[in-house]
Amino acid sequence: MRIGEVADKAGVSVRALRYYEEQDLLPADRSPGGQRHYPDTAVGRVRLIQQLYAAGLPSRVVRDVLPCVDSGEAHPALLDQLESERARIDQRITDLLDVRDRLDDVIAITRDPDADCSPML
Amino acid sequence: MRIGEVADKAGVSVRALRYYEEQDLLPADRSPGGQRHYPDTAVGRVRLIQQLYAAGLPSRVVRDVLPCVDSGEAHPALLDQLESERARIDQRITDLLDVRDRLDDVIAITRDPDADCSPML
DNA sequence: CTAGAACCTGACGTTGACGTCAGGTGCAAA
DNA sequence: TTTGCACCTGACGTCAACGTCAGGTTCTAG
């Protein structure tokens, strides 16, 4: 597959794919003329990269954990990093849940001002 | 309180506080000499701002929702925005849970390679 | 064989949330 | 009163994850 097709199927820009190659996240072979050529698995890999980005992992970390998530197993040396990333993600989930609850309160009260839970002044 | 103390107590930089004022997130009165002076409540507000940032809300949105979260109720006109932000946060939580599960799989397999759940080749 | 779509490599632009530096001022303690 | 730390206002730097533009090449359809 050429780069445009991968971009379409994965729902990202061509520029993004070139960026991923630059960052060693997504290798590509080249045609004799120099055009990038990707295997079919590239689409899934791009989706995975997007998911990791969406989870807030910076590209450096993505680069490190990608091979593990790909293969399903990590070099033991990476275990610490994986666990610290796991912890960071856990913390983010907690934070997000908290913010969501706050927003829910505001939304509920705005919809039905009588059901106010805050202390009356 | 002067800016340095607020920064210390809230665990952010002085620069960040000046930035928040610039963005109309955190007003400050001034001493005759022009130095910023904050009420005690500023520390909590800064923590809230940080929490909203951590949740991925851009400062424009934070500026809009801050008064609501402060007061516990929103101008009805903001309800749509609040709900769309809530949805965005929900999506992020889902993504994070998914990524966390993937990491858990990798970690588990790395720790105990025999307990492999993936299809055997 | 040729038009033109898709691709290529630089390289500069963008946005957000600050960091950092320069050059000057406020203020509390000794 | 003088030291000297905390503070002030610009204003430029940074980093990530691309967007975008310029100027040239490759590939494919007709």
| Residue type, position A36, single letter | R
Q: What SS3 string covers A33-47? A: CCCEECCCHHHHHHH
Give B101's strand partners: none
Mutate which: B47, B95, B112, vs A, most A CBs within 10 A: B95
**Would you state the pLDDT for residue B56?**
80
**Would you state the pLDDT for residue A121?**
38
Give B30's strand partners: B36
Task: List, chain by chain, residues whose CB lies under 7 Å from nucleic acid strand C.
Answer: A 2-5, 14, 18, 34-36; B 12-13, 15-16, 19, 23, 31-35, 50, 53, 57-60
| Residue type, position A78, single letter | L
**Would you state the pLDDT for residue B121?**
40
Beta strand A36-37 with B29-30: parallel, antiparallel or unpaired? unpaired
Of B38 and B68, the structure prediction assigns the larger pLDDT to B38
Which of B76, B89, B106 comes nearest A99 by C-beta?
B89
Which of A89, A110, A116 comes nearest B74 by C-beta?
A110
Is there a contact between A11 and A44 (Cβ–Cβ < 8 Å)? no
The DSSP 8-state label assigned to residue A115 in this structure reads S
**Across all residues in chain A, what is the average pLDDT?**
87
Q: Chain B residue with minimal CA distance to A113?
A: B73
Widest CA span in chain B: 76
Q: Is the pLDDT of residue A22 over 60?
A: yes
Q: Is the pLDDT of residue A92 over 50?
A: yes
Q: B80: pLDDT confidence band, cut at 50, 70 and 90?
A: confident
Is there a contact between B22 and B57 (Cβ–Cβ < 8 Å)? no
Of B75 and A48, the structure prediction assigns the larger pLDDT to A48
**Would you state the pLDDT for residue A46?**
96
Say whether pTM exceeds 0.75: yes
Please state, as a whole number, how many other Cβ atoms lie within 10 Å of the Cβ of residue A45.
20
Q: Is the pLDDT of residue B47 over 50?
A: yes
Of B73 and B104, the structure prediction assigns the larger pLDDT to B104
* Dihedral in degrees, nearest 10, Cα atoms B67, B69, B70, B72: 110
**Mean pLDDT value of segment A1-13:** 97
C-alpha span between A11 and B20 (Å, rounded):
35
Name the nearest CA neighbour of A91 among B54, B46, B45: B54
Of B62 and B38, the structure prediction assigns the larger pLDDT to B38
Gap from B37 CA to D14 C1', Å: 29
- Chain B residues touching residue A104 (CB < 8 angstroms): 86
Mean pLDDT lowest among A17-31, A105-119, B62-76: A105-119
**Would you state the pLDDT for residue B72?**
74
B68 touches chain A (CB under 8 A): yes
Q: What percent of chain B clears pLDDT 70, i.e. is strictly above it?
A: 92
Give A30's strand partners: A36
Is there a contact between B69 and B32 (Cβ–Cβ < 8 Å)? no
Gap from B19 CA to C22 C1', Å: 19
